Amino acid sequence: MKAAIGIDLGGTQLRVARLDAQGQILDHRKTQTAARAGPAVVIDQICALVDELRAAALADTAAPTDDSAGIGVCVAGPVDPDAGVVLEGWTMAGWHNIPLRDLLAARTGLSVTLANDGNAAALGEWRFGSGQGCRHFVYVTVSTGIGGGVIVDGRLLLGHKGMAGEIGHMILDRNGPRCNCGATGCWEAFASGTALAQRATELQATAPDSHLHRLAQDRSLTAKDVVDAAHLGDALARRLVQEEGAWLGIGMTALLHLYSPERIVMGGGLSNALPLLLPEIEREIRNRAMPPFRDVPIVLAALGDNAGVIGAGALVFREE
């Protein structure tokens, strides 16, 4: 049995795992990404963890043969999968046009496939998570930002330079707030966890008996604070969660019209609040989507934080 090595390179964490063809994690390592140290140091980090995993696998088996089928690696930021180049590593210093695929292939002797992290996570959920059995589905991850990936007509949507599916950067209001990407009024600028925390920060002062007001005296509010307070029945928090659900529903309506998925799968930190968000999401879809699109289910992601690393591994088996 061959095993894939999946690598999820984020600005905060670097995760490496050995996986079987069913997407089960056989062994894994993680470390904090040396995000400020530049690509050479980070690539050393990756290779060290890959070597550790391969050595551990060899020590573990009677047969002295390496069973690694290849490496799949996903990176936070735009990549060109055909060229194997990281165009821009977000929140990592010095990552411009780094030919990561060929660098890793030379260092490890394995074949390497590169993807954007949203696309890899979509692939992971499709093959082994909540997207199983669909020919068309959209994976949406909502946390600091909004990302994701699109499976349509039974294939991962890539587009020119692999840049399709930047679903966080649909424009939902031409006069909306400035987004991290430079545009204004992107979905991410309205509906990310960051945007939710910011609305909470702005509004807590107007609600002195809110739990959020008390919390805000000591520290910055987070999206999780809002969700927790909503669970406790806090009125302001409930209103904020309702508004968040509305923004998510508006964006998801657009995704339905643009990609016609059979299912939308939601992951990322805010997906923990999906039961709380769902009524408003579904209300917006019912009110806004064209009739044949209205009954598409919105489902919780199954792989949690492992979607990226599992999806990266799935890239290997896809190529076989």
**Site residues for a second copy per CB under 8 A:** 78, 87-88, 135-136, 152-153, 155, 157-167, 169-174, 181-184, 246, 250-251, 253-254, 257-262, 287-293, 296
* Minimum distance of a second copy from residue 238's CB (angstroms): 20
Task: Pick the closer one to a second copy by CB: 2 or 155.
Answer: 155
* Minimum distance of a second copy from residue 132's CB (angstroms): 16
Alpha-carbon gap, residue 220 to 226, rounded angstroms: 11
- Tokens at residue 2, please? 């061959």
Task: Pick the closer one to a second copy by CB: 124 or 165.
Answer: 165
169, 119 contact by CB (below 8 A): no
189, 246 contact by CB (below 8 A): no
How many Cα atoms are found within 13 Å in the side-chain-facing hemisphere of 78? 14
- Tokens at residue 244, please? 């968040």
- The partner residues of 231 in beta bridges, in order of sequence, read none
Query: Pick from 139, 127, 110: which is nearest to 16 by CA?
Result: 110
Measured in whole angstroms, the distance separating CA 226 from the mean position of its chain's CA atoms is: 21
* Minimum distance of a second copy from residue 175's CB (angstroms): 8
- Tokens at residue 9, please? 């390179």
Task: Pick the closer one to a second copy by CB: 59 or 290.
Answer: 290
- Tokens at residue 73, please? 């690696």
* Minimum distance of a second copy from residue 173's CB (angstroms): 6
DSSP of 245-306: HHHHHHHHHHHHHHH--SEEEEESGGGGGHHHHHHHHHHHHHHHS-GGGTT--EEE-SSGGG
Task: Pick the closer one to a second copy by CB: 55 or 181.
Answer: 181
* Minimum distance of a second copy from residue 191's CB (angstroms): 11
Task: Pick the closer one to a second copy by CB: 21 or 171.
Answer: 171
* Minimum distance of a second copy from residue 288's CB (angstroms): 4
H/E stretch holding 187: helix 187-191
* Minimum distance of a second copy from residue 170's CB (angstroms): 5
* Minimum distance of a second copy from residue 216's CB (angstroms): 27
Instruction: Write the DSSP symbol of residue 179.
Output: P
Instruction: Write the DSSP symbol of residue 169.
Output: G
- Tokens at residue 127, please? 């093959």
Task: Pick the closer one to a second copy by CB: 256 or 309.
Answer: 256
Task: Pick the closer one to a second copy by CB: 188 or 225.
Answer: 188
Burial of 141 by CB count in 10 Å (0-12 exposed, 13-18 middle, 19+ buried)? buried
